[in-house]
Amino acid sequence: MKVIVLHGSSRKGGNSDTLIDKFLAGMQEIVECDIDHFYAIDMNIAHCRGCGSCKNGKCIIDDDMQKVYPVFSQADVVILACPVFWGYMTSQLKTLFDRLEAIASPEHFGGKEFIIFITYRHYYGSLAEWLDRIAKSFKSRSHAIACQTYDDKTNSNIPISEFPDKLKEAFDLGKKIAGECK
C-alpha cells in the first residue's frame, strides 16, 4: 500500500506527527506500506499563480512540488498533519495543497483514503469540512481525528501523550483503513 504524508507542522516529532506515527503503526500491523514523507516547512514551494497553465498533470513552476505530484498520484492513502493556526492549516501546507490544483482530477485524487490529523487550540471545524468536501467530490473518503492540545483555563499547551484515547483512535483507524484497502 502506498502512503503519502504531508506534514504541515514546523515541529518534527510534535503532536500531529505523533498521531501519524500511531496511525502508521496501526496500518503496518495489517499491511506492508511504502511511505513517503514531505515536510512542507523544508520544501521550496512557490504559491499557485492560478495561471491555468497546468500541463499533463503537473505545474509549470519547477520547484519541489515536482517530487510530490507522482507520489501523490500513486498513493492509496493521503495523510495531512495539520496543526491549526487561526482556524486553518499552516501556510506552508496550504501552499503545498494549493499547488495540487495542477493534478486536481479523478485520475489523481479519486479512490483515495484521505486522513487529516488536526491539533488545535480553539477551533478546527472548517478544516475537517474542507477535506470532506474535496474527498467526496473525487469519490474518495476522508477521516478526521482532532485533538485540542491547549488548556484554556491554564493557557498552556498539552502534549498529545496526555491523550491516550486519541493515540488509540489513530492506531485503530490505521488498522481499519489497512484492512479495508488490503
d(Cα 73, Cα 110) in Å, to the nearest integer? 9
Whether the CB-CB separation of 139 and 106 falls below 8 Å is answered with yes
> Residues 13-56: pLDDT tens digits?
889 999 999 999 999 999 999 999 999 999 999 999 988 888 76
The reported pLDDT for the residue numbered 142 is: 96
User: In the predicted model, what is the mean pLDDT of residues 173-179?
Assistant: 96
Encode burial over 64-81: b for 16+ CB neighbours within 10 A, e otherwise: bbeebbebbbebbbbbbb
CA 17 distance to own-chain centroid: 10
What's the helix, strand, coil split of the chain in %, to 5?
A: 45, 25, 30
Grid coordinates given for 132: 470532506
d(Cα 29, Cα 166) in Å, to the nearest integer? 18
Is residue 182's pLDDT more than 70? no
The reported pLDDT for the residue numbered 58 is: 74
CATH architecture entry for 2-181: 3-Layer(aba) Sandwich (3.40)
The reported pLDDT for the residue numbered 53 is: 85
∠ Cα 117 119 123 (to 5°) = 115
> Residues 90-126: pLDDT tens digits?
999 999 999 999 999 999 999 999 999 999 988 777 8
The pLDDT > 90 percentage for the chain reads 79
The answer for 36, left when phi > 0, alpha when psi is -120 to 50, beta otherwise, is beta
CA 151 distance to own-chain centroid: 24
Q: Kindly report the backbone phi and psi dihedral angles of residue 116, in degrees, each rounded to the nearest multiple of 5, phi listed first.
A: -120, 130
Domain boundaries, the chain: 2-181
- Of 158 and 53, the structure prediction assigns the larger pLDDT to 158
Whether the CB-CB separation of 151 and 176 falls below 8 Å is answered with no
Mean pLDDT value across the chain? 93
The reported pLDDT for the residue numbered 124 is: 74
